Structure 1
Amino acid sequence: MSVPVPAPYAESRPLPPYRALFAVDAKDFTGLPAVQHGPVSQLVPELVDQALERAGLRELRDAKRFPANTGDGVVFGFDPASLPFVLWPFLGVLDDLLGAYNQQYVGPRIRLRASVHVGPLPDGDGPGDGNGTARNDTHRLLDSRPVKAILAAASEQVTHLAAVISQRVYEDVVLGGYSGLHPDRCVEVPATVEGKNFSQRAWLYVPSPSGNLVEAGVRPREDPADRTGASADPADRDRAAKTRPGPRYQGNTQHVGQGAAVMGDVGGDISYTGGATSYHGTNQHWGSGDNVAGGKRVGGAGDEGHR
């Protein structure tokens, strides 16, 4: 028996319950040898469940709504009341767990992209549960350019997780002060997906940014003339910066309390040669490319915190 498809705008009907959504997928999964696809597909949800338990979210782990294994990751819904704890400490605990796994095991590194969203979705123990715009947007966020670019640019030895948070979650949970995740640990990014009609404002959070990301955010890239010492005059270097080809970032300031922020095209070449760096500014605006920020926690997880 076919299920009738309701016509929009024809009448009013009850709004489905709001459900939070969490999704992850593994970087470079399709590039793995076929023999590793099955084990990695099983490993990712196991790591997520371990992190949920370690973050004190055992009840959430056992009460997932419409969970699905996507092959290279996992997606599930949950009670929005748990959103503050998923943002903090869970994401940080998952990052720590991935780092420990990657150090101890021989095999492919498991580095994940994550997305967190919320919206009305059917959830009545039916076959169509969890399907809707919010679910689609969760996967689009997961596939968006900024989160892919930052994970590709970061050191695989240090940065194991990059998370993109929807504007709705950011406003309600982060700016609302309900989560231990401070706004200064996040940076606004334009979430777009190549080949898809999708563009949303979102926020990027990198629990453990590698040094090259920090360096890229606080120090301008050198011109060849600078590296060869052709011009030591600051005025000459300033004029060269104004005339150099490619995108320039002018008038951009960032406020970073604890963590790191990156400004520029994170899809390009980034090198790190310096030591620890800190930066303080005001509000951040981006011109083109991706702006990235993250917070570096001190200590371990115990510091608490289809398509």
Structure 2
Amino acid sequence: MPVPMPHPYAESRPLPPYRALFAVDAKDFTGLPAAQHGPVSQLIPQLVEQALERSGLHQLRDAQRFPANTGDGVVFGFDPVHLPFVLWPFLGVLDGVLGSYNRQAVGPRIRLRASIHVGPLPDGGEPGDGNGTARNDMHRLLDSRPVKAILAAASEEVTHLAAIVSDRVYEDVVLGAYTGLHPDRCVEVAATVEGKNFAQRAWLYVPSPSGNLVRAGLQPREEIQDAGPTGPTEAQGKRPGKDGSGNSQHVGEGAAVMGDIGGDFTYTGPSTTYRGTNQHWGSGDNVAGDKRAGAGDHQ
């Protein structure tokens, strides 16, 4: 029996329930030998489940909606009531679980990109549950240039997870102060995907910044010039991303530094020179601070 196909705007119909979405993809999965694809595909869900357990999210672990193994990652829906706890502490715990595994693993390192989104999705026990625009956007965020670039720019020894949070989740959960994740730990980016008609405002969060990301944040220009500590500025107390002041960073493509960073920073690269606290970049491997690293620091 054919499934009835609704005609857009022909009539009103009930809105599907809002479902939060979480997905992870493994960095460089396709570069692994074919013999390792199967074991890694089984390992990633186990590491995610372990992090949920350690975060105390037993209810979420047992109540996932339309879960799927994507081969190089996992995706599942859940009740949005759990969103604050997925942002904090789960993402940090997952980063720690990955780090512990990578330090003792004899196989390939597992470094993940994660995306978090929310929106209306069908969830009535039917085969097509979980499919819709919100899920499509969540996968686009996961594949977007900023989150790929920042994981590539960080040290594989320290940074095991980079997360991208949709603007809807950021506005409702982070700026709403329902989570322990402070806005100053997030960096605004323009999420785009090569070859796709997709561009959305989103927010990057890296639980364990490293390499050039940390080095840049440790060298405010005042310390270099005056050899003295830099105190917080008036702009630091303002809500990021709202009035063009504070710690807000705007990145088109490439990597960015996140964390509690204040003062006036300088970035000097092969083709870009930038000064200022608020950051608006177009492309490239972008960091805030005084970037004086050699080629060997990029991974």
TM-score range for the pair, normalised by the shorter chain length: 0.7 to 0.9
Structure 2 equivalent of residue 102 of structure 1: 102
Structure 1 equivalent of residue 80 of structure 2: 80
Q: Secondary structure at the match of 1:87?
A: helix
Structure 2 equivalent of residue 115 of structure 1: 115
Q: Which runs of 5+ in 2 are unaligned?
A: 221-243, 265-276, 289-299
Structure 1 equivalent of residue 60 of structure 2: 60
Structure 1 equivalent of residue 50 of structure 2: 50
**Is the aligned partner of 1:5 residue 2:31?**
no
Q: 1:57 to 1:197 in 2, by over 3 A?
A: same
2:115–2:139: 8 Å Cα contact kept in structure 1?
A: yes
Spell out, residue by residue over 1:74-129, the C-alpha distance to the aligned partner (whole angstroms, 9 max, x if none). 00000000000000000000000000000011110000000000000000000010
> In the TM superposition, what is the alpha-carbon distance from 1:266 to its structure 2 partner?
3.9
Spell out, residue by residue over 1:114-172, the C-alpha distance to the aligned partner (whole angstroms, 9 max, x if none). 00000000000000100000000000000000000000111000000000000000000
1:187–1:292: 8 Å Cα contact kept in structure 2?
A: no
> In the TM superposition, what is the alpha-carbon distance from 1:253 to its structure 2 partner?
7.2
**Is the aligned partner of 1:180 residue 2:174?**
no
Structure 2 equivalent of residue 305 of structure 1: none
Letter in 1 for 2:247: H
Q: Distance in 2 between matches of 1:14 and 1:253?
A: 41
The alignment's TM-score, normalised by the length of structure 2, stands at 0.78
Spell out, residue by residue over 1:173-214, the C-alpha distance to the aligned partner (whole angstroms, 9 max, x if none). 000000000000000000000000000000000000003112
Structure 1 equivalent of residue 247 of structure 2: 255
Q: Which runs of 5+ in 1 are unaligned?
A: 221-251, 271-276, 294-307
Structure 2 equivalent of residue 288 of structure 1: 282
Structure 2 equivalent of residue 279 of structure 1: 261
Count of aligned positions: 253
1:192–1:198: 8 Å Cα contact kept in structure 2?
A: yes
Structure 2 equivalent of residue 167 of structure 1: 167
Q: 1:278 to 1:83 in 2, by over 3 A?
A: closer
1:118–1:169: 8 Å Cα contact kept in structure 2?
A: yes
Structure 2 equivalent of residue 299 of structure 1: none
Structure 2 equivalent of residue 247 of structure 1: none
Q: Secondary structure at the match of 1:200?
A: strand
Structure 2 equivalent of residue 128 of structure 1: 128
Structure 2 equivalent of residue 70 of structure 1: 70
2:165–2:204: 8 Å Cα contact kept in structure 1?
A: yes
Structure 2 equivalent of residue 211 of structure 1: 211
Letter in 2 for 1:185: R
Q: Distance in 2 between matches of 1:171 and 1:265?
A: 22
1:151–1:161: 8 Å Cα contact kept in structure 2?
A: yes
1:145–1:193: 8 Å Cα contact kept in structure 2?
A: yes
> In the TM superposition, what is the alpha-carbon distance from 1:219 to its structure 2 partner?
5.2
Letter in 2 for 1:286: H
Higher relative contact order (CA 8 A, sep 6+): 1
Q: Distance in 2 between matches of 1:263 and 1:61?
A: 34
Aligned-residue CA RMSD in angstroms? 2.8
Q: Secondary structure at the match of 1:115?
A: strand
Spell out, residue by residue over 1:258-281, the C-alpha distance to the aligned partner (whole angstroms, 9 max, x if none). xxx89797469x9xxxxxx97314
Q: Distance in 1 between matches of 2:67 and 2:251?
A: 36
Q: Secondary structure at the match of 1:286?
A: strand
The alignment's TM-score, normalised by the length of structure 1, stands at 0.76
Q: Distance in 1 between matches of 2:260 and 2:187?
A: 16
1:115–1:163: 8 Å Cα contact kept in structure 2?
A: yes
Q: Distance in 1 between matches of 2:50 and 2:122?
A: 27
Letter in 1 for 2:216: A
Structure 1 equivalent of residue 30 of structure 2: 30
Structure 2 equivalent of residue 148 of structure 1: 148
Q: 1:63 to 1:278 in 2, by over 3 A?
A: closer
> In the TM superposition, what is the alpha-carbon distance from 1:285 to its structure 2 partner?
3.6
